[in-house]
């Protein structure tokens, strides 16, 4: 998956972003959340919080740390350089499968 595909996911409305929005999706047992993307420059504290939420609410959810930083993800979402996105939830299983097929999205397995 490249940034263009990520942009398509944003434009299709199948992505929720921002810590509070992603937190709400993780905690909602009826949410169709398929997986979580983290920027490569997300703070360790925020990563730890996302992993805690996932582990306590939806341990089956996969979390992928991307090669992209917050600014790149924000621009791809069409939010401009001023909007930085560090946490995003993919809401469609088909899109999530396409993310997992392409290892170029991964910056490595998160260490938390």
For residue 90, give the nearest of 103, 73, 104 by alpha carbon: 73
- The pLDDT of residue 73: 92
Task: Enter the DSSP assignment of 67.
Answer: S
d(CA 53, CA 59): 9
- The pLDDT of residue 37: 94
Residue 45's contacts (CB-CB under 8 Å, 6 or more residues apart) are: none
- pLDDT tens-digit readout, 6-28: 889 999 999 999 999 999 999 99
Q: pLDDT grade, residue 63 (50/70/90)?
A: very high
- pLDDT tens-digit readout, 71-103: 999 998 887 667 899 999 999 999 998 887 765
The topology under which CATH files domain 3-103 is 60s Ribosomal Protein L30; Chain: A; (3.30.1330)
Tell me the domain boundaries of the chain.
3-103
């Amino acid at each position: 998956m490249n940034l263009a595909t990520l942009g398509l996911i944003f434009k299709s409305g199948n992505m929720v972003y921002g810590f509070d929005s992603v937190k709400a999706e993780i905690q909602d047992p009826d949410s169709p959340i398929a997986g979580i993307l983290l920027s490569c420059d997300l703070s360790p504290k925020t990563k730890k919080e996302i992993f805690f939420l996932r582990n306590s609410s939806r341990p089956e959810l996969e979390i992928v740390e991307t090669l992209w930083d917050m600014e790149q993800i924000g621009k791809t979402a069409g939010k401009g350089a001023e909007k930085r996105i560090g946490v995003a939830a993919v809401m469609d299983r088909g899109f999530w499968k396409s993310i997992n097929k392409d290892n170029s999205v991964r910056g490595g397995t998160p260490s938390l």
